[in-house]
Structure 1
Amino acid sequence: MIKPSPKIDIPGGMRKPLFLAALLFTFTYLFLFNFYQRRPSDVFSSYLTWPPSSPPQTSSISPTNLSHLVFGLVGSERAWRHRKAYIESWWRPNITRGFIFLDKAPGQDLLPWPESSPPYRISDDLSKFLGKSEWTAQRIIHGIMETFREDRDDENLRWLVMGDDDSIFFVDNMVEILRRYDHRKYYYIGGHSEFILSNYWYSFSQGFGGAGFILSYPLAKVLAGDMENCLDRYRSLKAADLNTMSCIADIGVSLTALDGIHQIDLRGDISGFLSAHPKFPLMSLHHFDMVDPIFPGKNRADATRHLMKAAATDQSRMLQQAVCHLRRNGWTFSISWGYSAQIYERIMPRSYLQYPIETFRTWNRSPRPPHYMFNTRRRSGDPCEAPHVFFYETIDGTSENQILTSFSRAWARGGIGSCVSGGNHSADSVSRIRVYSPAVKRFQIDRCECCDVVAEDGDRVDLVLRECNPDEIIA
């Protein structure tokens, strides 16, 4: 006969804690079981998703368009006389929204104010508030609040874009990129300086303002509301972009840096940089006053207008690099759409040509490399390394629903001979390259386009851009 187990007498005061402990153990077991049944990608997907998915589209939320952006440009009355050409090259009267904030009222020679320029405003006087006469840095960051103040009650406002009076924006590309972000969240979007020491001297965490930085509406609203406290907190700072970043960081938001936003902290001839753009839509350029005109034989204003004529045809491909080969001649072609074309007298892989030729100089003195935030190729007198250089001349549509861009030779390479190891086929006779591209926008950033050489006729070569084959190798 089996004896019954002895009865365990639990004191009344301990029954409730033991019951709760058993209940907690059960819930913990069930949670951990379900947790480990999930894939790691499910658990952490909200943190690892990149690039950000587009905001959910509902009947009440339309895709972002240009009317959802307002631009705040900060400049000086004196400089506006020669810098307005940069702004007017991309500004669309009665379409683009925003203002140019001047340090004082425009002189009589600037009046009547033209419709081709953004409407002007006079920056607020901050001298009494700050208790000092020099407040340029604070004026620039205060421009965020002044821009927001002009349109704060507009329900259509989603993004606030800040820039200088010489910032060149590619607004169609900007809109396309911003569609991938949820404007209802907190975003501070900008770009680094190309010059490593500029980032070191100021901050790797800031967006450089001349290149333009973009604030989502919720962030702009909070920053505008905290502006006086922000200026007071950092009244000792003399760098506007560092001041801006510091105030935004105190809100809990960090920089989202994009490759298409360019401060151009470079000097001299930047054609090498523009001929090997990162695989990302071009959003802005800056500091055109500080570099050589980007097209030979043109001044800075005309060169800017010439570039923007190509952009008006297809911004999505601006500066996007395509590489192809004419193997029977041992030639490699590198195309920077809407800007330049190059012929190399030997077969070269894209892995090498993706790096810009260092035609430019550092922004400031830099004692030792690295100087830049990207790799470069040094200039070379080797006929197998030095390209034949062509620049965009004309752009037109065709009857086959294509865009025809014509590039003309910039100068004779001369004096270095031809590349013997590449087959000794000189490209000196080529004076023009024509590039046909599809008349459809292309915003893909996962892979570049490929191209084919379809005609070679003495002094002219014709190329056609196309999608790369799935297994195509560009080498």
Structure 2
Amino acid sequence: MLSSFSSDNFSVSSLCKTLMILGVLLYLIFNSLSNQYPICPATDFFPLLKRRAFPTNESSLANSMDSPTNINHLVFGLLGSERAWHHRKAYIESWWRPNVTRGYLYLDKAPMGDLVPWSKNSPPYKVYEDLTEFLRETWVRSPVIIRMVHGIMEVFRQERGNIRWLVIGDDDSIFFVDNIVDVLAKYDHTKYYYLGGQSEFVMSNIWYSFNQGFGGAGFMLSYPLAKALSKDMENCLRRYAHLKSADLITTACIADIGVNLSPHKGIHQIDLRGDISGFLSSHPKSPIMSLHHFDMVEPIFPSMDRFESTRHLMKAANVDQSRMMQQIICYHRQRKWTFSISWGYSVHIYERIMPRSYIQNPIETFKTWIKNQRPPYYMFNTRLPSNDPCEAPHVFFFESIEKTPKNEIFTSYSRAPGRGFPVCSKNGNHTADFISKIGVISPATKHKEMDRCECCDVVRADGMKAEVNFRECMMDEIIA
């Protein structure tokens, strides 16, 4: 009995010594590592193990904040009026996704007439807060301007759960929500960001500011910036009530916080008039995020009104926004043709080989925002319409879209009437007059990288049809 007890006691003693030796060794090793990497102090080691083994609500929230930005993180504040909404709601309903998109339409008064009952396809509406007392005690240039800027704070107050970005825009704008999400996902939403677009018309920027995001086309505020702006909103409105536009006041308020505009080429104020097809057919190499002023330009598709054109455009956008209006240029060497494709909108065929540096400049089918202005007119290079049959394009507009069994997207484009020029005699008389339809095949996957455009091959140009295949450009490939 005693022998057995002694043996057991010896075993326990040996085990304790072994554990003590291991403990000392672990301490020495960890202390050595701590000295080598002082950024991880020894005192934090066991709490760190605890946090990893037993995640708290705080760490779960941190993981949530690190997740990729998605549509649920965006809140839209659309600023409008009851009077205009009667004929503008078709614009917003073309892209708004009921029960998916978050946000509100702000009106100056409750809807009436044919707006009641309220359409389930429209954003839920709110009436602007009553600012009568504030306006009475503050000299303002325009009550409407103050109401619009104050609306930013009203949007912020309405939605507080899991917001990363506020998107503010007008009720006659089209937003490409998937592209907005993809662009914003590249930014750190925990920091201060003010994203927007400048006007296309030089004088609009001179009259107001080159440093403001034109609010009709939409601007985006990160949550921390929106919070800071809302906190100081009434004081800021008092400071800048004398300014002549809501966008200018907003920019001034944001500048006082220490933040400047981050301009984006895909946000379009459309301070243009008339036929903007030339502009849309040569979109800059940037994801398209918005189009404004649809009331002020001609319908973007022939034989359709403005609202039909909007819905038609969104047929392509609902399938693939990453390629929407991205200009892709390729060549049919046998016939010496140049193809310029604005995916989801138009295709141009030129009866000669044209350099990219020339084709990427929009054709001035449009006019200036204000008549009788002296140049310069635009914030981008343009080219004038040409009567030369070698430089005047055959124009085709988007007709239909479908997914193929090969997991590709097929878009079809049909000829627009009215070119009315003879064959390009400098090119061996290879006319494109017989082409009435163009099919474009693109991958079903998103085109994520905007550092370089995609490439394409003309695989067919006979009978009455042409067919073009999109592909990734090869390394060092010269597209000429």
Q: TM-score, normalised by structure 1?
A: 0.86
Alignment of 1:231-380 (within 5 A): 231-365=237-371, 367-380=373-386
Partner of 1:136: 144
Structure 1 range deviating more: 177-186 or 58-67: 58-67
Instruction: State which of 213, 216, 219 in structure 2 corresponds to 1:213.
Output: 219
Q: Is the 8 A contact 1:130 1:232 kept in 2?
A: no
* Contact residue 437 and residue 466 of structure 2 kept, 8 A: yes
Instruction: Work out whether 1:423 is the aligned partner of 2:431.
Output: no
Where 1:289 maps in the other structure, the secondary structure is coil
CA displacement at 1:412 relative to structure 2: 3.9
Question: What residue in structure 1 maps to residue 3 of structure 2?
Answer: none
Shift of residue 124, structure 1, vs aligned partner: 1.4
Output the CA distance in 2 between the equivalents of 1:366 and 1:230. Answer: 37
Q: Which amino acid aligns with 2:182?
A: E
What amino acid maps onto 1:286 in structure 2?
Answer: H
* 3-state SS in 2 of match to 1:329: coil
The residue type paired with residue 135 of structure 1 is P
- Give the Cα separation in 1 of the matches to 2:335 and 2:65: 58
Letter in 1 for 2:179: N
1:78 aligned partner, one-letter code: R
In the other structure, the counterpart of 1:127 is 132
> Secondary structure of 1:333's match?
strand
Q: 2:47 corresponds to which residue?
A: none
Runs of 4+ with deviation above 4 angstroms: 57-60
**Per-residue deviation, residues 439-465 of structure 1 (Å, max 9, x unmatched):** 111121100011101112221001101
Q: Say which is worse superposed, 207-216 or 421-430, in terms of deviation.
A: 421-430
Say how many residue pairs are matched.
416
Distance in 1 (CA, whole Å) between partners of 2:201 and 2:64 is 45
The amino acid that maps onto 2:87 is H
| 1:308 counterpart letter in structure 2 | M
Q: Give secondary structure in 1 for the equivalent of 2:273.
A: strand
What is the deviation of 1:366? 5.1
Q: Equivalent residue of 2:216, what SS?
A: helix
Of 436, 458, 462, which aligns to 1:457? Answer: 462
In the TM superposition, 1:9-28 aligns within 5 A as none
Q: Which residue of 2 aligns with 1:29?
A: none
Q: 1:93 aligns with which of 74, 98, 101?
A: 98
2:448 and 2:372 mapped to 1: Cα distance? Answer: 36
Q: Does 1:150 align with 2:173?
A: no
Pairing 1:166-205 to 2, within 5 Å after superposition: 166-205=172-211
Cα-to-partner distance string for 1:62-111 (whole Å, 9 max, x where unaligned) = 10000000000110101101100010011100010000000111104211
Distance 1:252 1:58 in 2: 29
User: For the Cα contact (< 8 Å) 1:130–1:235, is it kept in 2?
Assistant: no
1:406-459 residue CA offsets vs partner (Å, 9 max, x unmatched): 000011422x21111122211111101100001111121100011101112221
State the distance in 2 between where 1:300 and 1:224 align: 36
Is 1:472 equivalent to 2:480 in the alignment? no
Specify which of 230, 241, 264 is matched with residue 224 of structure 1.
230
Distance in 2, matches of 1:188 and 1:82, equals 30
**Separation (CA, whole Å) in 1 of partners of 2:461 and 2:69:** 44
Where does the alignment leave 5 or more consecutive residues of structure 2 unmatched? 1-61
1:103 match: 108
CA distance in 2, matches of 1:259, 1:357: 18
CA-to-aligned-CA distance 1:334-381 (integer Å, 9 cap, x gap) = 000000000000001111111000000001135322200000010010
* Letter in structure 1 aligned against 2:148: I
Q: Structure 1 counterpart of 2:151, which letter?
A: G
Aligned to 1:421, what secondary structure does the other structure show? Answer: helix
Q: Report the secondary structure of 1:243's partner residue.
A: helix
User: Does structure 2 retain, via aligned residues, the 8 Å contact 1:127–1:135?
Assistant: no
Quote how far apart the aligned CAs of 1:114 are. 1.5
Select the residue among 436, 442, 451 that pairs with 1:446. 451
1: CA distance between counterparts of 2:195 and 2:276?
24
Deviations 1:103-150 (A, max 9, x none): 111104211111100000000122321226941111111110000010
Task: Report the secondary structure of 1:160's partner residue.
Answer: strand
Offset of 1:59 from its aligned partner?
A: 6.5
CA contact (8 A) 1:185 1:216 kept: yes
In 1: Cα distance, 2:352 partner to 2:374 partner: 32
Asked whether the equivalents of residues 281 and 443 of structure 1 are also in contact (C-alpha less than 8 Å), the reply is no
* Aligned ranges 1:66-85 → 2 under 5 Å: 66-85=71-90
Secondary structure of 1:334 counterpart: strand
SS in 1 for 2:209: coil
Contact 2:168 2:215 in 1 (8 A): yes
Tell me how far apart the structure 2 counterparts of residues 149 and 343 of structure 1 sit (CA, whole Å).
51
Query: Which structure has the greater CA radius of gyration?
Result: 2
**What do you get for the CA RMSD once the two structures are aligned?**
1.2
Which one-letter code corresponds to 1:448 in the other structure?
A: C
Determine if contact 1:322/1:336 at 8 Å carries over to the other structure.
yes
Instruction: Name the TM-score, length of structure 2 as normaliser.
Output: 0.85
Cα separation, 1, equivalents of 2:113 and 2:272:
35
Partners of 1:81 and 1:159 lie apart in 2 by 28
1:470 deviates by: 1.3
Question: Which residue in the other structure is 2:412 paired with?
Answer: 406
Q: Secondary structure at the match of 1:403?
A: strand
C-alpha separation in 2, matches of 1:320 and 1:270: 16
Identity %: 66
Say whether the 8 Å CA contact 2:86–2:114 is kept in structure 1. no
Q: Residues of 1 paired with 2:362 and 2:130: CA distance?
A: 44
Cα offset, 1:58, TM superposition? 5.2
Instruction: Tell me, in whole angstroms, the C-alpha distance in 1 between the residues paired with 2:196 and 2:398.
Output: 28
Distance 1:186 1:341, change over 3 A: same
Does the residue aligned with 1:317 lie in a helix, a strand or coil?
A: coil
Distance in 1 (CA, whole Å) between partners of 2:266 and 2:475 is 26
1:206-260, CA deviations, whole angstroms, 9 ceiling, x for partnerless residues?
A: 0000010000000000100111101100111121100100000011000000011
3-state SS of 1:209 partner: coil
Distance in 1 separating the partners of 2:194 and 2:167: 10
- Counterpart Cα distance in 2 of 1:419 and 1:473: 26
| Structure 1 gap ranges (5+) | 1-56
- Paired AA for residue 472 in structure 1: E
